[in-house]
Structure 1
């Protein structure tokens, strides 16, 4: 189904040919509706090329333009813009044509791509907040639109299910857990023990170190800690799925950060071998010496104690999406605070 813009563009091309002028400029939606629905800068472009008065060139184009029943006779404005106002009858006819089309006039793309859309991405052992809901709704809308246009869409919920918070959750689980409260409201009890542990760790170096050791044991594959972690993640996923069901949201894959844990050493090794990363004070770091805005913001991909962080996981995630999922494009639906992370 042809749009008004494409129909007007064809008529403009015919007018230029009739006026013995080459195609030039663009026909775009009007920047100010007071002057019409569409406009073109063709006369301005041609006048500059030919050393002529742009308004005179515009008048010449208008004289050869066949408006037919599509629009009112075009007008010349300002230094030489040509404005087009659609006729109400033409708009009515097109509206009925669109309503009679099951795709509402939207054609499928001629170049379909495989697109991974990363949206939602809540953190396990924590309740979703409004930022996650915003990302979820926007990401779902983008996924539906891209799919409607004919792209192959992979919806990915990149759950934050690995990291330092689990050292605190596991310590709290072992020392503070109220089993009855866990049965009544699992996520609320997990959040309570996390907050209480975090408070204690802030004031007690012994608790802080104990939490760090619990995390190390988890990352090393300790069975008890893995069992606690699995139970926490399962409770979180139940809570998330309840929300997704209410919002009619579904994902194709839900590869949390833990999914990439075994890939992280390889990521660091490749960056070191490629000369992208270097060892600095015991840590593996990527410096951006040639990028002024990032020159004082290095990216740590392996900490001094051998631990990895979100940046390492995100690089492994990109590697998986490009090489395993064969994505042509990756769309991230995140908040503005993530700007620095993506620049790095």
Structure 2
């Protein structure tokens, strides 16, 4: 048989097809196939027990009948699988060495891996809304979570067949620009600076302007007038506003480049400023929004938490807000981008906002006779410093993202200098950049995103445990095996025979779980599942390598072990790339 890449998906299909030949199984039977405890098998089907309860019949008898049909399935063979029943009707599936050999051998390039998983999101257009810094302000440590989680999910969904549109919904419109315009007029500003140096200077300018309006009522009134002129399209103010945003975007892009993050669109709040009035009119005409205390709001009385907490879409002074802009953004993404799903990546403090937004969108689209997109809020916890408090600089300010990245690279360079003092400086710099930035983003991604975590340089730069340096070193070690053999990864495996040793089989079984790990991430949008898988894969390879010499005299034995080395490298590289981390050939 030709093995399928996503075994969990294939086994599910085989069981469903087998179940249709039995009268007790409904057409929509879900066998609930999951990776199993390794003591019992590689995969386990758990769907018989709930069906037996529903039918009030013996689950083991039902499972036995199903197992007999599965064993006779034309895509299965006794040479490839062992089927057993455990407990109250759980069906265990164990992959045999012959099948594991064929499966591992078959999937030898990234395109084949992606093709084998594109059924997970094929045909969907997903708009990813993440990062979202405010212009005229430096990105700080809080932006790292949204940026790296959003990029990882974007890569994973694209890998699984989705058309992903990355939209950086920056904060480029609002009251702060009245203060900035006033400060530019009072103190002047050099717009010809390099963006990286200009952004801190813009922050200082804003602080000067803010202090001015707090101390001088006339200055406060003037700042409001500057904002009104900007909002009314005054050319002089618009030109300054554009320059501020261009400098800000230049500084953001420099950081995104270093992080390996890219966007298809950067449509900030300003893009929707002419559309918010129409949104309010529609919601009011559809009887979804109503006036309350001078504001336009949407009530959700059916929701236990929001029955007395209105969703304000126009403030009592007539101004729009985040809710109005977000509603206009949903409409644009559906009408102009064809979004079937929109995913927002923000911190957990915005949960209520997005829950109310999603409720409002669903009512709006239903009343308009349109199908609403799937809306998902990928929220995350806080990065903590020592003592369990929010991470800050020694002076108590927010840690700038650029400073954090620079420090990570500097710390990694010290490690490179210590471990490989004879490397050329250029190569040391390249390794330090990859390890330092990889360590920061992996330390974030390996956490369950809804948890807070304590930031620790010592832990994230360690070569022991579930860290980027450990995984990068595992990949570099495999490259070294091929260099020493005078081969490229993928070469020398042609004469390999079936897997034999315990460590070979355990490593192949771990490789076969890669699709299930990716599928779990796409279901829950939690990248830490993939991190855990890669760490376990690196451990399985280490056990294999410590117990089995690769370069031996027997061509068949050497061939199968080179094949395992090559596939492990491919899966590590692919998995780390999906997380936004590029591997190194030398460390």
When normalised by structure 1's length, the TM-score is: 0.84
**How far is the alpha carbon of 1:242 from its aligned partner?**
1.4
Unaligned runs of 5+ in 1: none
Of 5, 11, 17, the match for 2:8: 5
Of 105, 117, 133, the match for 2:144: 133
> Contact 1:159–1:254 (CA<8 Å) still a contact in 2?
yes
> Contact 1:58–1:81 (CA<8 Å) still a contact in 2?
yes
Note if 1:194 corresponds to 2:206.
yes
Corresponding residue of 2:424? none
Of 139, 143, 155, the match for 1:144: 155
Residues 193, 87 of structure 1: CA spacing in aligned structure 2 closer, same or farther, 3 A cutoff?
same
Of 241, 249, 256, the match for 1:237: 249
**How far is the alpha carbon of 1:133 from its aligned partner?**
3.2
Note if 1:335 corresponds to 2:347.
yes
Residues 138, 212 of structure 1: CA spacing in aligned structure 2 closer, same or farther, 3 A cutoff?
same
Corresponding residue of 1:39? 44
Find the aligned partners of 2:7 and 2:51 in 1 and give their Cα distance: 24
Note if 1:301 corresponds to 2:304.
no
Of 155, 165, 176, the match for 1:154: 165
Note if 1:86 corresponds to 2:91.
no
Find the aligned partners of 2:326 and 2:353 in 1 and give their Cα distance: 10
Find the aligned partners of 1:229 and 1:271 in 2 and give their Cα distance: 31
Corresponding residue of 2:81? 71
**How far is the alpha carbon of 1:236 from its aligned partner?**
0.5
Note if 1:266 corresponds to 2:269.
no
Corresponding residue of 2:111? 102
Note if 1:175 corresponds to 2:178.
no
> Contact 1:30–1:83 (CA<8 Å) still a contact in 2?
no
Find the aligned partners of 1:322 and 1:57 in 2 and give their Cα distance: 46
Find the aligned partners of 2:83 and 2:46 in 1 and give their Cα distance: 17
C-alpha distance after superposition, 1:279-335 (max 9, x if no partner) = 233332223334331133222222233322221111111111112223222222222
C-alpha distance after superposition, 1:209-241 (max 9, x if no partner) = 433332222112233322221121111011112
- SS at 1:294's partner residue? coil
Unaligned runs of 5+ in 2: 72-76, 357-587
Find the aligned partners of 1:113 and 1:303 in 2 and give their Cα distance: 36
> Contact 2:122–2:160 (CA<8 Å) still a contact in 1?
no
Residues 41, 170 of structure 1: CA spacing in aligned structure 2 closer, same or farther, 3 A cutoff?
same
Of 288, 295, 300, the match for 1:276: 288
Map 1:12-23 to 2 at 5 A: 12=15, 22=25
